[in-house]
Amino acid sequence: MTHPLSAAADVTADDPYETVEQLVRAQLSKALGGKRGMVEGAVPTIAFTLAWVIGRDLQVSLLLGAGLAVVLLIVRIVQRQNPQFVLNSLLGIAIAAVFALRSGEAQDAFLPGIIYNAVYAAVLIASVLARWPVVGLFIGSVTGDPTGWRGDVGLVRLCSRLTLVLAAPCIVRVVVQYPLWLGGEDMVAWLGAAKIALGWPLQVAVLAAMMWLLGRNATPLQRPVAKPA
Output the pLDDT for position 121: 95
What's the pLDDT at 113? 92
Of the candidates 204, 201, 194, 203, the one whose C-alpha atom is nearest the C-alpha of residue 173 is 194
pLDDT at residue 125 in the model:
96
CA angle in degrees (0–180, nearest 5) for 58-62-66? 175
What CA–CA distance (Å, rounded) separates 24 from 36? 21
User: What backbone torsions phi and psi does residue 15 show, to the nearest 5 degrees?
Assistant: -70, 145
In angstroms, rounded to a whole number, what is the distance separating the alpha carbons of residues 163 and 159? 6
Angle at 53 (CA atoms; ends 49, 58), nearest 5 degrees: 70
Average pLDDT by consecutive 10-residue portion of the chain (229 residues)?
44 55 62 68 85 88 91 90 83 90 92 95 95 84 73 83 91 96 91 87 78 65 52
Are 2 and 33 in contact, with CB atoms under 8 Å apart?
Answer: yes
Query: Is the overall model pTM greater than 0.95, yes or no?
Result: no
